[in-house]
Amino acid sequence: MKDDVIICRCEDISYGEIVEAIDSGLTTLDELKRVLRTGMGPCQGRTCSRLIARIITERVGGSVADMKSLLDRPPAMPVEIGILAGESDED
Ligand code: FES
C-alpha cells in the first residue's frame, strides 16, 4: 500500500503515518489513538479501526480477532436532572 493512502479519513491519517507509529513501538489501537488520533473522528473508528488493526497485525503479528478493540465509552450528552430524578414531562 502506498504511504499516502488515507486510512483514517475522519482525522486524515495516512498509511505511512500509521506504519511509522507502529514501527516506533505503538502496537495497539489505543496507543495509536492517543498519539495519532485515529478513531477519534465523527465515526469513532467504525470506518478505520479494523483497517488499522489489520495493519498492526501485518507488521507485528497476531490476529485481528485477538486484538483489543478501542476502549468503548458511553456517548456524552447533557441530561436534565429531572429525568435522572424520575420526573416525567407532565410534572
Ligand atoms: S475514519 Fe478514523 S475515526 Fe473515522
Residue 90: inside a domain: no
Give distance in angstroms: CA of 91 to centre of ligand 1: 42
Q: Probe ligand 1: pick from 48, 52, 55, max atoms within 8 Å of CB?
A: 48
- Report the CATH number at residue 16: 1.10.10
Residue 89 lies in a domain: no
Joined grid coordinates for residue 11 = 482525522
Q: How many structural domains comprise the chain?
A: 1
Q: What is the pLDDT of residues 20-76, one digit of tens each?
A: 999 999 999 999 999 999 999 999 899 999 999 999 999 999 888 888 777 666 667
Residue 91 lies in a domain: no
State pTM to two decimals: 0.76
Q: Is 68 among the domain residues?
A: yes
Taken in order 22, 28, 31, 33, the sign of the CA dihedral is: positive
Three-state SS at 28: coil
Give the residue whose CA is nearest to atom 1 of ligand 1: 8
Whether 17 is in a domain gets the answer yes
Distance CA 69, CA 82 (A): 35
Q: What's the CA-to-centroid distance between 9 and ligand 1, angstroms?
A: 6
Is 38 contained in some domain?
Answer: yes
